[in-house]
Structure 1
Amino acid sequence: MLLYERYRLAGHFFSSQFSELITKLEQLRNVPICDPIVQLSVEAPALPLISWLSAQTLYPKIYWHGRDRNEDVAAIGSCKTFYFADQVDDNALAQIYQQQRNKTNHQDIRYYGGLAFDRTVECWPEFGRAHFILPRIELRRSGNHVRVLVNLNFENGEPEDEIQSALNAIAMVQKPRPLSPPNKLNLMGRSDLPNFARWKELVEQVTQANFIKSTPKVVLSRHSQIDVDDNIDPWTVLACWQGRNPNSFQFGFQFSPERAFISCSPERLYLRRQQELFTEALAGTTVRGLNPEEDNVLAQALLDDIKNSHENQLVRKHIVDVLTPLSQYVGADEQPKIFKLNHIQHLHRAIRAQLKPGVSDFELLRALHPTPAVGGLPRDAALNFIRQREGYARGWYAGACGYLNHHESEFSVAIRSALIEPRRINLFAGAGIVAGSDPEAEWQELENKLATVLSILIDF
């Protein structure tokens, strides 16, 4: 009861719910535990989950909000972790996860995490080339209801130790605090890698006739390091970003106080429900108009543009080709539609598939990631060019972030993203380079893609 008293004095919004979970945890001490992973759950009223997450002091901290679903998730702590700091063995990772899935297929267990863009090169500290976590505590909101979940891992060690770890995590939970829009920061410095001169050289190399014959598309990207005069709360930034681009995936991973990766990405890698798969070709970009009439003119010009249409068609064809061996059926939109965001609009084609029995999430990740929308075509040739010439390691930018579950898994492509460090925000943006690409126009496209998040942080 001491733990509950400590919790109750904090005046937390969910005091009765956590009291109920503490009672359930205490009851586990008196019953035989047969399942290796146990999940406890109680219902609670809704609250803004990002404000709750921002107040927490237990790491890791995870947030996930799907693009077109009325659900978001905030999670803290770790019950079980799959972490690959160095070379990722896809087969080993798939085997480990399959073993876990076989043990927990009757529960709503989710592993949240991500894969780096390029799993053959060094990644950021704490993130690794692949990192998935079964959180200790999850809050899942659907509509006006929240489920508070506590996960326990009884695979190794004494059950009493695991129960006590869960109780200790509950004791650390803090009450939510309101989030205000972040104060505008003073820009202390900015550096771009590659800089414009190098960018121009790279675009010219990629658009040479001999290169285009073998590698028709390379997605070049830029890392912009923005130094400011104060620290940045990643969850405040993500909440503002979410408000400006609601038609996006919003997610964040913070494995320690020093570093957080957040993204407001329009792009789905895939959504799998049982054996049904939903994915898309999202490539080809223009700006939004200043009024509805101009916006429609720009959208129609994008639909009519040969270069952008060709780029989108390349992505569509590649995805259909790699899904065909894994699927009983694959269907894709013949003509692109317009997908609108706050500052830009994209060409979009929906793709659907019925997977063959037994196809796993890791087979899908291996087939689809990275897509031509963030790497290029052919994939291996484009990735090799990026690896050798781009000048920096992308880390989780343009990686695959989401969650794994027995019945349903969903991943987003981590574009429109930021790595936040003390007094620094690292921003990333890319552009697909094909025949006819202009270096200056593509450089401006990078600026357009950063406009929303920069406007949140800095007065220009």
Structure 2
Amino acid sequence: MNAVLSPPKLFVRTVPLRDRAGSLVRRLPEGAALAWLSGDDGIVGWGEAARLEPEAAPAGTPPTDNSRIAQAARWFTGLLEHAEVEDEVGLPGTGLVTFGTFTFAPTSPGSALVVPRVLVGRRGDRAWLTTVTDEPVEHPEELLRPATEPRPVGPLEWRPGSLTRQEWMDAVAGTVGRIRAGELEKAVLARDAIARAQSPVDVRVLLERLRTRFPSCFTFSVAGMVGATPELLLRREGDQLTSLVLAGTRPRGEDAESDRRLGQEMMASAKDVEEHGLAVDSLRAALEPLAAELAVPAWPHLLGLANVQHLATRVHARLAPGVSALDAVAALHPTAAVGGTPTETAMRLIGEVEGMDRGGYTGPVGWLDGAGNSEWGIALRCARVDGSSARLYAGGGIVAGSDPAAEAAETESKFRVMREALADPRG
């Protein structure tokens, strides 16, 4: 653990940026990139002014333990107390900002908070530059560097993940049996696949492809976790909180009629409606103790993405006084949409049958600023990028009516997001 006993003195300055044109990804230099993007808006950063990597919890820790998130909250509070902040913009994502990723399970390594040295943000017609330095900076624009052109990923070698397709379907069948026997109601099972390139993967290539193909998703890069998630765990501005629950998936149709038919089929599916309802109930139970007001729609709507469509429910809440964004993150994770129901039983089953460590996959990923504003997604449609290798993840909710072959096909649809982001379009 690299928690700082005596936080460093940081000088934080946010100034308006006159040049608002172009993709934020194009601002990033080569190297470890930090990003949270939605269409043309978002924040990107580079360099490290401060970093925390909470230790993984020891074996035997309850699977729902979120003390790593509480530790991160204390660390960021300490940084704020020792920071001198000059913010000339005053929007969410200005001032002192940290990007974060938390692992799905408390015993997994890989959680991290990173405060960048340089951050560039855009929201509508306003853009800004934030610098975080050890000494006051009179001209922060001088810390902007011309970015180099992203390098193509190049040829890839694909390798099987921790389980073969058949082994994973066998795990699904076994899980269905345990659900029908009354051991639990739902478990979300994931698979992995591995890609190897001939040289280090330039994350900027993935970010630009994901951002342009999935403008309604949140494209992210934090401490090696890179992807485009449709699932907003929470957005907080002031005391207002929004969350988006996704559970239930179908592919997009080849034409408008087949697309409509697939969506209607999902809306009428007892299996998908049950899976979605369990996820919504999980979110409601977690938020109720934190909220002064809570609004949960009675029925989901369809959310169509480029490659799949989901059952979706958008939840709104007004947080009770004293409740922070990371308090809410800790209360919400893991949702039934990524773990299962009952939560502890499902997470123990996941550890038994998946055959892999998820790391940051299906964990919270996002950002937090010094005013308490934040956006956190669930790390889905993503990969862990480490040098020239990328480990892709995809999963699905398993209930009593699940069919192993259909679940495997659903994961293939979800893998396609990162496969296509990695693939060289020239062949």
Q: What is the TM-score normalised by the length of structure 2?
A: 0.85
Q: Is the 8 A contact 2:38 2:216 kept in 1?
A: no
Q: Secondary structure at the match of 2:391?
A: strand
TM-superposed CA distance for 1:374, in Å, is: 1.0
Question: Which runs of structure 2 are paired with 1:195-206 in the superposition (5 Å)?
Answer: 195-206=164-175
2:116 equivalent in structure 1:
135
Counterparts in 2 of 1:233 and 1:217: CA distance versus 1, 3 Å: same
TM-superposed CA distance for 1:50, in Å, is: 0.8
- The answer to whether the aligner puts 1:111 opposite 2:98 as a matched pair is yes
1:48 equivalent in structure 2:
23
Q: Secondary structure at the match of 2:347?
A: helix
Code of the residue aligned with 1:227 in structure 2: it is R
In the alignment, structure 1 segments of 5+ residues that lack a partner are: 1-34, 153-161, 255-259
2:201 equivalent in structure 1:
232
Question: Which runs of structure 2 are paired with 1:25-424 in the superposition (5 Å)?
Answer: 37-46=11-20, 47-53=22-28, 55-56=29-30, 60-66=32-38, 71-87=41-57, 88-101=67-80, 108-121=95-108, 123=109, 128-129=110-111, 131-152=112-133, 162-163=134-135, 173-179=144-150, 182=152, 185-208=154-177, 213-254=182-223, 260-405=224-369, 406-424=371-389
Code of the residue aligned with 2:247 in structure 1: it is A
Give a deviation string over 1:66-114, Cα, whole Å, max 9, x none.
47xx622111112222221333544443333334456669853221111
Q: Is the 8 A contact 1:273 1:408 kept in 2?
A: yes
Counterparts in 2 of 1:384 and 1:176: CA distance versus 1, 3 Å: same
Pair member with larger Rg: 1
Q: Is the 8 A contact 2:283 2:332 kept in 1?
A: yes
- CA–CA distance in 1 between the matches of 2:181 and 2:374? 36
Code of the residue aligned with 2:100 in structure 1: it is G
Q: Is the 8 A contact 1:283 1:348 kept in 2?
A: yes
TM-superposed CA distance for 1:209, in Å, is: 5.3
TM-superposed CA distance for 1:188, in Å, is: 2.8
Counterparts in 2 of 1:215 and 1:266: CA distance versus 1, 3 Å: same
Code of the residue aligned with 1:380 in structure 2: it is E
Q: CA RMSD in A?
A: 2.7
TM-superposed CA distance for 1:217, in Å, is: 0.7
Q: Secondary structure at the match of 1:111?
A: strand
Q: Is the 8 A contact 2:30 2:202 kept in 1?
A: no
Q: Secondary structure at the match of 2:147?
A: coil
Give a deviation string over 1:171-204, Cα, whole Å, max 9, x none.
7753134558x46x44433212221232122112
- CA–CA distance in 1 between the matches of 2:388 and 2:196? 6
- CA–CA distance in 1 between the matches of 2:186 and 2:304? 24
- CA–CA distance in 1 between the matches of 2:195 and 2:70? 38
- CA–CA distance in 2 between the matches of 1:247 and 1:91? 30
Counterparts in 2 of 1:456 and 1:62: CA distance versus 1, 3 Å: closer
Code of the residue aligned with 1:94 in structure 2: it is A
Counterparts in 2 of 1:374 and 1:322: CA distance versus 1, 3 Å: same
Give a deviation string over 1:256-302, Cα, whole Å, max 9, x none.
xxxx3211110000011121111122000000011111111111111
Give a deviation string over 1:208-227, Cα, whole Å, max 9, x none.
15665231111000110123
Counterparts in 2 of 1:309 and 1:361: CA distance versus 1, 3 Å: same
Percent identity of the aligned residues? 26
Q: Is the 8 A contact 1:136 1:169 kept in 2?
A: no
Q: Secondary structure at the match of 2:414?
A: helix
